[in-house]
Structure 1
Amino acid sequence: MSAWQAFLRKHWMQRSWPAGKAFAWLVSLFGLAFAAQIFWLAGDQRQVLESSARLLNSTVPSTLEQFRLARNIEQLRLDGERVFSGRTPVARQQALFIVSLLSSHPAMLADRRTAALASEVETFLVQAAREGMSEQRYAEWDTLSNRLSLLADDFSIEGANLATDDLQLMATIMLHSQFKLALVLALVAVFLGGFLFLIHRHLIRPLQKMDKALNELRSGSALTPFSRASMAEIRAVEGAIGQLRDVMHENQKARQELHVLATTDSLTGMFNRRHFLALAEEEIKRAHRYARPICVGMADLDHFKDINDRYGHAVGDRVLQSISDLFGHTLRQSDWVSRYGGEEFAFMFTETTIEEAHRLAERLRQRTADNWIDLGDGSGLQMTLSLGLAEASKGSLEAALGRADAALYTAKKQGRNRVVIAGEATATPRKAVHESSDDLDLPVDER
């Protein structure tokens, strides 16, 4: 590295520049250069506007007048031909009438050459029509017809030549303007190229690096070190990103833990009661709004208290985890299940009639009864499940769960290991089951 490069790197490239001040200088410089170029082109633009106005207000009307006069002369010649070619006297008289109208047209009379020739043609045709057509008359008409054609061509050429000077002047100005515009565009391109290069080098590239760093933070990857930026604001942001990394990692871990605690049951991994009720309430509203079928269910493991008393709570937890896995493999993806409390579970069957929900519940009950729960010491046990179902297409979620709970206690009273639909049998409320628990020879809190 040369001494000059080292000096630039130390005193210029490594120096931080406030972004607002740097870009203000660049924008001011560009504005002055662009304004000077606009004034340079304004002169040519003014000349083009003057030539255009003259062409529009004077030259074009004169040109159109010449073309109309040439067209009238040509029409006079054609009608003269019809006087000679008419098959009947009436046709010749009609053509002669049109010749008279054209000869007396103000535009024809306004030009001396046209007026004289038109009068001569009219006089000739009137005499020819009166005295009859002869070979001599045809020869004379050929001469007049050629004179009319030549005069019409002259007027057409004169009309086209009227705009020649203005068009040539405009073409010259436009050619000069094109050269100036090309030079202006080249200067603007050079300036914008340098401007964009500076923006890319000192703004976009650092922003891309910061975006990459933020993506790395989002994905949990290691943060790539930043190179020293020239903009003071960029340097400050890069420093803040490094601090943000540590805070984000801590917050992300805390959010994950809080979300799990707030929505799931720590033992089974199912939805907890509060989260299930919140989701179910929204689903009930949707089903009511669109008149879709929906059912809820309550389930309870039979004689679960005996498991805890005989094997201990560790085995009871193992049973609950096994039943949770069974539910996950048996139910559909659209079905929801939560641990409602202890060994009690709540279900929601969306887009499901009560008959379909009954079939699902029966399958769940049968698989629970057939499920062998390994206790890890070579022994195992089997559990049964009682379920109560209720339609939720009408009424509140609380009312539907109440009916399903009453049906569940009816299933308990009828002997457990069965599915009862609310309304098919007399549903005994929870209080009544508690009061009749002595008849079942069970403790009050055992289901």
Structure 2
Amino acid sequence: MAQRSFLERATRDGWPAGTAFALIAGVFGCTFLALLFFLAVDQRLVLEGSQRLLDKTVPSTLEHFRLARNVEQLRLEGERVLSGPTPVARQQALFIISLLASHPALMADPRAAELAREVERFLARAAREEMSEESYAAWTALSSRLSLLADDVSIEGVNLATDDLRQMSAIMVQSRVKLAVVLALVAAFAGLVLFLIHRHLIRPLQMMDEALSALRAGAPVKPFAPAAMREIGAVEGAIGQLREVMHENETARQQLVLLATTDDLTGMFNRRHFMALAEEEIKRAQRYDRPLCVAMADLDFFKQINDSYGHAVGDLVLTSIAELLTKTLRQSDCACRYGGEEFAFLFSETSLAEAHRLAERLRHRVAKNPLQLSDDVCLPVTLSLGLADASRGSLATSLKRADEALYEAKKQGRNRVFIALSADHGSFRGSALPEKNSHSQPP
């Protein structure tokens, strides 16, 4: 039960790398040691066979060859006894026959000893008597028996050596097969280990490196496949958590940037961010001698709206006007809520004449879009604007002159655009639509 629980847990959560590789190494080691044991047994059998060949088989084979030679020599001496030219020669050959018949090698073999005694008796009788045809026929039979015995003994000696050599050869073939199996097992184990290392270690590490590179670049990270190794899974889980934390941090950073750069009510740039952008744009325009204008705008009678309808309606007016301004401005223009009901604008690559047309368009759009509070209440809203050239002086000076032009527009009746023509106080040029055409389209 405990073993089954461990296997289920390892399959679900991943195997510990040490345990997995120890298990593989244990299986390989046991199989390898078993094959080495069989190889050692075969080597011992080969050594025993070699020793037996040296100690027993080779001497026994030599004994058989000597016996075969003595039997053949007995036959040859018997021929000399029968064919000797003189009695002395026949007696000498008969003496050698007696020596051979009593030789220990012949006496040790029952077949050879019996045949040798029979040959010795026959030749001793033949030496004393005259040879007849029957005697020659009997010798021919004995000579044939001697030859056959010599051949049989020689073959037995050869067979002794052949059997041992055949047995040793079979053992060596088995050893060669087992050695090939061992080498194949080692190669398979090495391949398996390399495959497992690549599959469960190197490839996951490469995927982790790709994931970390993607995290550094801010690109989305592909989810990891379930890891077989517990340690790899833990690292991948940590990278996943890091990805989530970085995503949360990036979201929080974007929210902080949004809070730091925009007005929470209208969604427009706030004053601080607008001033930073405007400073950079003024530096660029003055460096390359490009036209640039700034504008200040103020909602007319906004205090009366707050006093008459409440601050909630005032906030609604601000958000509606901000949305309308954002839709009317060009993509290259920059606008912000400067404070309260006051707005500031930056018109890049724009001359005073072009800025004047843009300001009139803004003023006209605001005047043509009253705020519908209810079915029977429609709240008209107008906008006064002041323009100034910002391509020469500082941002503070340009905004001050635009604010003075805005004050002049307010002073001259509101719902109009005034341009600060020079740095001299009171040098303005104003414009407004006639009252009877206040709802007509801009030129």
TM-score by length of 1: 0.49
Q: Which of these two proteins has the greater Rg computed from alpha carbons? A: 2
